[in-house]
Amino acid sequence: MTDLRGALRATRRRLEEAGVPSPRVDAELLLGAAVGLSRTRLYAEPQRVLSAEEARRLDSLVTRRASREPLAYVLGEWGFRGLTLKIDARVLVPRPETECVVDRCLALLRALPRPDVLDLGTGSGAIALAIASEHPGAQVVAVDSERGALALARENAAAAGLLDRISLVRGDLGRAAPGARFDLVVSNPPYVRPGELGSLEPEVRDWEPKIALVGDGLHRLVGETASALLRPGGSIVLEVGDDQAPGVAAVLTELGFAGGRISADLGGRDRIVEAQWLT
Ligand SMILES: C[S@@+](CC[C@H](N)C(=O)[O-])C[C@H]1O[C@@H](n2cnc3c(N)ncnc32)[C@H](O)[C@@H]1O
């Protein structure tokens, strides 16, 4: 028989031995999920004994995490800004830097009461749903090439009560939706160069969909698409890799965008490039 304190200690040790980068927090979240308690409640009842079913559930979750499956996939959900999104192996786990992308989008949309927004490569729907939930007038078209990602994004939109302001469309980053015009095009396209994949953490390298990670030159493709779809004065906002911001800003200038601006994420890394389409 194991109590919560003992289970927490043993879980943390298993995760440490597996090389998991944040074993303490992960142990708290996995134990909390197994027994149905919040992280803080775990510490309020340290001597509560786990039932056999809870112990089995915990073992199954920890085994998955110890194989370096991303925590978000093991938990089945992940926080993104104010939303709790369902997340699984069909989609990229939404990242903190992408929350900063949404900040820039909302700043650019602030003066527009009913903006039309296009999210290219929506995955779980993180960016599209955050914009729709934080800008009450925004209408968002969310595009992805993958059926699985779109199905999950639809579930997330329904759970957030946002299906009336989100259109989910199967399509390609490089192909324009005929007739539609937008005030903002946002994208976090795949931008890990093929040769860099091997150097990434196992959680990313071995588990997240390659179609969501690996890409070269897709910022240009998104820029070309946006140039055909933006209204005059509209904006493009792109998430970029660590060393890519100056190059992507130059590409946007070359495509005819103006007012290029590079912003940092909360860690101070230049990860967001934006510009305006004036004509
Ligand atoms: C880096 S993930 C971003 C997911 C989500 N927007 C986020 O920020 O968490 C890129 C997404 O683009 C999609 N994608 C990759 N290539 C694509 C293409 N050629 N056309 C449309 N979507 C594509 C992938 O399926 C994936 O969902």
Look up the pTM and report it.
0.97
Q: Do domains 4-67 and 90-277 have the same CATH topology?
A: no
What is the 8-class DSSP label of residue 124? T
Superfamily of domain 90-277: Vaccinia Virus protein VP39 (3.40.50.150)
Query: Which pLDDT value is given to residue 221?
Result: 97
Q: How far is CA 46 from the centre of its chain?
A: 34
Structure tokens at 214: 């690996």
Residue 123 CA: nearest ligand 1 atom is 27
| 8 Å CB contact between 142 and 111 | no
- Would you say residue 193 has pLDDT above 90? yes
Tell me the CA–centroid distance for residue 247 and ligand 1, in Å. 20
| β-strands 182-187, 230-239 pairing | parallel
Tell me the CA–centroid distance for residue 41 and ligand 1, in Å. 37
Is the shortest distance between the CB of 128 and ligand 1 below 6 Å?
no
Is the shortest distance between the CB of 127 and ligand 1 below 6 Å?
yes
- Testing ligand 1's pocket by substitution, the residue of 91, 196, 219, 239 carrying the most ligand atoms inside 8 A of its CB is 91
At 241-264, the pLDDT tens digits run 999 999 999 999 999 999 999 999
Is the shortest distance between the CB of 115 and ligand 1 below 6 Å?
no
Residue 236: in which H helix or E strand, if any?
strand 230-239
Residue ranges of domains in the chain: 4-67, 90-277
End-to-end CA distance of the chain: 70
Closest C-alpha to ligand 1, atom 20: 172
According to the CATH classification, is domain 4-67 in 1.10.3720.10? no
Query: Which pLDDT value is given to residue 41?
Result: 92
Tell me the CA–centroid distance for residue 146 and ligand 1, in Å. 8
Q: Describe the strand order of the beta sheet including 139-144 as a list of residue ranges.
A: 166-170, 139-144, 116-120, 182-187, 230-239, 270-277, 258-264
Tell me the CA–centroid distance for residue 144 and ligand 1, in Å. 6
Is the shortest distance between the CB of 254 and ligand 1 below 6 Å?
no
Tell me the CA–centroid distance for residue 141 and ligand 1, in Å. 14
Query: Which pLDDT value is given to residue 178?
Result: 65
Tell me the CA–centroid distance for residue 187 and ligand 1, in Å. 8
The mean pLDDT of the chain is 96
At 71-95, the pLDDT tens digits run 999 999 999 999 999 999 999 999 9
Is the shortest distance between the CB of 125 and ligand 1 below 6 Å?
no
Q: Please state, in angstroms and rounded to a whole number, the distance separating the CA atoms of residues 105 and 275.
A: 11
Task: Work out the average pLDDT over 214-227.
Answer: 96
Query: Which pLDDT value is given to residue 1?
Result: 75
At 222-241, the pLDDT tens digits run 999 999 999 999 999 999 99
pLDDT band (50, 70, 90) for residue 204: very high
Radius of gyration of the CA atoms of the chain, in A = 21
194, amino acid identity:
P
- Would you say residue 21 has pLDDT above 80? yes
- Would you say residue 180 has pLDDT above 90? no
Tell me the CA–centroid distance for residue 257 and ligand 1, in Å. 23
At 24-81, the pLDDT tens digits run 999 999 999 999 999 889 999 999 999 999 999 999 999 999 999 999 999 999 999 9
Query: Which pLDDT value is given to residue 66?
Result: 98
Instruction: Using a pLDDT cut of 90, give the percent of the chain over it.
Output: 95
| 8 Å CB contact between 86 and 154 | no
Structure tokens at 172: 């390609």
Tell me the CA–centroid distance for residue 75 and ligand 1, in Å. 22
Task: Work out the average pLDDT over 193-208.
Answer: 95
Query: Which pLDDT value is given to residue 77?
Result: 98
- Angle (nearest 5°) at CA 247 between 242 and 249: 100
Is the shortest distance between the CB of 123 and ligand 1 below 6 Å?
yes
- Would you say residue 103 has pLDDT above 80? yes
Q: Please state, in angstroms and rounded to a whole number, the distance separating the CA atoms of residues 202 and 220.
A: 28
Q: Please state, in angstroms and rounded to a whole number, the distance separating the CA atoms of residues 120 and 222.
A: 8
